[in-house]
A and B are shown apart, each in its own frame.
Chain A
Amino acid sequence: MLDRASSFADKDVIELLQRRFVPVALDVWYEERRQDAAGEFFRKVVFQREGLTPGRTTQGFYAFAPDGALLEGWNHRGVDRLKERLKAALDEWKPGAAAALTGAVDSRFDRTLPAGARIVEVRARITDAKWPEPEDEFRRIMQRATSLDHLWLLAEEIESLRAGRFPPELARRIARFHCIDNTRGEPPLWEPEEVVRCEVTLAPGTGRAKDATVDGVIALRSADGTRRYDARIGGSVEFTGDALARFDLAIRGTFAGGGEYTCHPPPGDFTLAIVFRLVAPAADGSLPAASRVPPQGARWLDDYLGRVAGR
């Protein structure tokens, strides 16, 4: 989020990337692991970066040619550095030939939206906390950050909502994978045994729901006792004919604790709010690029989709 609100909000950077580059954004967790042409090409590019050796994080920024030749590679924040490196890459750049890359996709890392599923935008923010005075501008941005993730609603769950029932599998997915404080970094998710309560209902609870009200309680406790969330979920779900037209939910509750990559939480208890809204396709049916990014929890796809027995 920090880079979205700083480096990639700069108008010169935006113009350079729009006009002079083909910009790509990727999750290295997938690219480092996949055994296919995309994964091999990714690794070919990033391991040219000075000082980067296998076993170290490949996170960073890379300008490169289609044949894989690295022009510039770095892993430090700062909009001035970003502009310098982009301009240096353009100075070095000479168009050349590049062979086609083909081959089967490594299906273990394929995250195609399941048939009939819908994408829901999920945003979270700390709305009330006793923050210390921020040390710098980055910390100030983090204290006000709104995160972005996506929830997948499966076809059978949409059908269940249409029939007037909030599916417990969906409620547990929301609790385990979306009741997270991801406002400062990659957050720890919740294990099944860490879900203390997850009771979500749709009213009216019987019959076919055209416009139904959601209400429920979610309580989460980490096994090591360092994190907790006690929250209320509410909102409404609406159908137009058989089509899901609205999935406007919100969660608000008391959170405490942080994780390895979400350090510097507010001290003590704080209020974490999370909102959900269906992603609307454009008139031509296309979806914004960001909405095609799979849910963070879908790294563990079968678990995310509720296909692991006992979880």
Chain B
Amino acid sequence: MAALAPFALSVVALLAPIGGDPPPLAPADVARLHRELLPTRAEPWETIGWRVDLLAARDEAIRSKRPLFLWAMNGHPLGCV
């Protein structure tokens, strides 16, 4: 039982409400977060020209006589994490 006590305390701590609501986001806060988190121009990986349809990419590879390169992840590589 004693061994469980730290775990039980940590669960209780996570469930406990935090005092009061978080403060409202003023328009300047929202604008600042947008500036900090949103890219202002295409990131390098975006310039590669990724296709997201396997069969359409295959058709293009046949036409252009090029091999395909596949980046496969659990969670889409272009938009999960």
What is A's interface to B at a CB cutoff of 8 Å? 1, 3-5, 8-9, 11, 14, 17-18, 20-29, 31, 37-38, 41-42, 45-46, 57-66, 71, 86, 89-90, 93, 95, 98, 100-101, 121, 123-125, 127, 145-150, 182-187, 215, 217, 219, 221, 224-228, 230-236, 248-250, 252-254, 256-257, 273, 275, 277, 288-296
Contacts and interface: CB of A to CB of B under 8 A. Distances in A.
A289 B50 contact: yes
A90 B67 contact: yes
Contacts of A58: 72
Interface residues of B, number: 58
Contacts of A227: 14
Nearest to A45: B70
Contacts, number: 262
A24 B51 contact: yes
Contacts of B49: 17-18, 23, 289
A211 to B, nearest CB: 11
A182 B37 CA distance: 14
Given A38-B54, A182-B80, A235-B30, 16 more contacts: A3-B77, A8-B44, A22-B51, A22-B58, A22-B66, A28-B72, A60-B72, A63-B68, A66-B62, A148-B80, A182-B81, A224-B11, A234-B27, A250-B30, A250-B34, A256-B14
Nearest to A292: B52
A167 to B, nearest CB: 20
A236 B72 CA distance: 36
Nearest to A187: B81
Nearest to B57: A24
Contacts of A65: 61, 67-68
Contacts of B5: none
B3 interface: no
B50 A101 contact: no
A46 B44 CA distance: 27
B20 to A, nearest CB: 10
Contacts of A9: 43-45
Contact of A147 (B23, B65, B81): B81
A145 to B, nearest CB: 8
Contacts of B46: 288, 290
A22 B74 contact: no
A123 B34 CA distance: 9
A27 B74 contact: yes
A41 B61 CA distance: 14
27 contacts: A8-B44, A14-B44, A14-B45, A14-B48, A20-B67, A22-B68, A23-B48, A26-B71, A27-B73, A27-B74, A28-B72, A64-B68, A90-B67, A98-B62, A100-B59, A101-B55, A149-B79, A186-B75, A232-B21, A232-B25, A250-B25, A250-B34, A277-B38, A289-B78, A290-B50, A296-B75, A296-B76
